[in-house]
Amino acid sequence: MATDKRGRKLPKGIRQRSNSTFEGRFTYQGESYCVHANTIGETQKAMNDLKYKLEHGFFTTANNITFGAWFDTWMQQYKKNKVKMGTYRSYDEYYKVAVKNRLANKRLESIRGEHIQKIYNDLAEAGYKYASIKVVSAMLNGCFRQAVKNQMIVYNPVKAAELPKCEERNVRVALTREQQEIFLKYVDKSKNRIFFRVMLLTGMRNGELRGLKYSDIDRKNNVIHVRRTIKYIKGVGSVEDTPKTRTSTRDIPLRPDILELLQEQKKMNDRGGIQYIDSYYFIGYKNGNPVCETTIVNSLHKIVEWIRKDGYDFPDITPHALRHTFATRAIEAGMQPQTLKTILGHSSLAMTMDLYSHVLPTTKQEEMEKIASAFY
């Protein structure tokens, strides 16, 4: 008879898993069934409930349904036109590269936690970022959760798998005041100088700024309306999408210096022959399409090259570093967390507070010196 980790005897058909949860197995009319739960009592109840459903015809197995067939159904019936296009395309791509070859031909009801765990582990070993593995996990969890709701399977196997421990993510780069001053000396050599200056002054995300249109500037109320983002989707190209989260749709105060930069950009567009009534501010071609992300990234890398060529020790930065620099300057200036959260469009105050825990070392030193006199 099996025992748990404390040495207690377990009821027939129940065993304790390595993650301390319990698994119950039994056979009914030649078919094997499996349930999982957190306690022995819950496992026994799940087994009894399933047996009752089987005996009274309330449970239908999905013996002949493969995961691939169910995934296609789930995407078409439960995700298409119900999630953002970027999310839908992302799920489709991750399924093709990370899941299809591993699960597509398996029977839906035969997939167990160890199958999901192997996917996570393989992706981690292949060098996938933790964020990417989380997307795969969310996709699989949603797919299996719907199958449980539809009574196609009893248990969601994703619950029995754990995301692999990954190295701590790199701390996002924020420019020091000195680095910021150097950057601003060189940024005007770039044809995308206004883009970078506006990003640094507003904290807008790369995609949000690329999606900014003339109509988003509200001079009456002195705000910038953030209403869309530009995303690149493989096989489709750059497309408009709603902002990252519900709170990302927001209004950012419009200062005179920011307005002056945007007006200068509009004049440049007009001189370039862009005559659209509601054009994007930052365009890549005369057809009025928004500047692509690759162009922005390459322009930023070029600025860093110019800086280093002149002998400065300067870090590698991404467009997001300018957003993080804005947030850092705001914190240093004493901006309240709730106000900064609203301007940045964070979905939770915890995300904003995380920035406060990563203030620059020089700022910490200055703050410590401010309170030194209190001890003498």
Domain ranges of the chain: 14-55, 67-160, 177-360
- Determine if residue 357 is left, alpha or beta; phi over 0 gives left, psi from -120 to 50 gives alpha, anything else beta: alpha
Half-sphere exposure of 14 (CA within 13 A, CB side): 24
Distance of CA 337 to the CA centre of its chain: 22
Give the pTM.
0.63
Q: Encoding tokens for residue 352?
A: 């904003």
Distance between CA atoms of residues 260 and 61, nearest Å: 65
pLDDT in tens, 44-76: 988 888 887 777 655 555 557 899 999 999 999
Distance between CA atoms of residues 209 and 295, nearest Å: 14
Q: Encoding tokens for residue 24?
A: 């119950």
First CA to last CA across the chain, in angstroms?
70
Which pLDDT score is estimated for 140?
A: 97
Distance between CA atoms of residues 330 and 132, nearest Å: 30
Q: Which residue reads 């248990």 in tokens?
A: 155
Q: Are strands 223-226 and 217-218 parallel, antiparallel or unpaired?
A: antiparallel
Which pLDDT score is estimated for 132?
A: 85
The answer to whether the CB of 33 falls within 8 A of the CB of 25 is yes
Which pLDDT score is estimated for 269?
A: 86
Which pLDDT score is estimated for 372?
A: 58
Q: CA quadruple 118, 123, 125, 130: dihedral positive or negative?
A: negative
Q: Which residues pair with 3 in a beta bridge?
A: 9
Q: CA quadruple 285, 291, 292, 297: dihedral positive or negative?
A: positive
Q: Are strands 229-233 and 31-37 parallel, antiparallel or unpaired?
A: unpaired
Name the CATH topology of 67-160. Answer: DNA polymerase; domain 1 (1.10.150)
Q: CA quadruple 123, 124, 128, 130: dihedral positive or negative?
A: positive
Phi and psi at 217, nearest 5°, equal -95, 110
Phi and psi at 172, nearest 5°, equal -65, 140
CB atoms closer than 10 angstroms to residue 212: 26
Which pLDDT score is estimated for 217?
A: 95
The answer to whether the CB of 33 falls within 8 A of the CB of 26 is yes
CATH 1.10.443.10 fits 177-360, yes or no: yes
Which pLDDT score is estimated for 103?
A: 96
Which pLDDT score is estimated for 244?
A: 77
DSSP H/E element including 224: strand 223-226
pLDDT less than 50: residues of the chain: 168
